[in-house]
Amino acid sequence: MTIEQAQIKVDEWINTTGIRYFNELTNTAMLMEEVGEVARIMARQYGEQSFKASDKEVNLADEMADVLFVLICLANQTGVNLTEALQKNLEKKTIRDADRHANNEKLK
């Protein structure tokens, strides 16, 4: 699935199963909540925190998909074409960081 196809599919889902989009502020809060759930898993799986008994059923891929879903909702609501935005962002980073990382002693 392309990013464009994902934006269309999410919009179709929202307008049928989801009935309508939550407002942008609600979706922003939901995005932060979903990012927090990813952070919780990362801290326990790759960091120094341990899992609680209630954490045993967590699924990192599903939580990342939740983040992507809400981000796509926000993009759709605000008229952002994520394909174009990502392409422009990568171009910006490529120009800005052309030598930066290659010359970073910490990365060698």
Averaged pLDDT score across all residues of the chain: 95
Mean pLDDT, to the nearest integer, of 52-73?
93
What are the distances in angstroms from CA 73 to CA 5, 6, 36, 84, 101? 13, 10, 18, 16, 33
Token pair for 19: 């009935």
pTM of the model: 0.90
C-alpha–C-alpha distance, residues 18 and 37, integer Å: 22
User: What kind and span of H or E run contains 92?
Assistant: helix 82-96
Model pLDDT for residues 6-33, shown as the tens digit of each residue: 999 999 999 999 999 999 999 999 999 9
96: exposed, middle or buried (Cβ count in 10 Å: 0-12, 13-18, 19+):
exposed
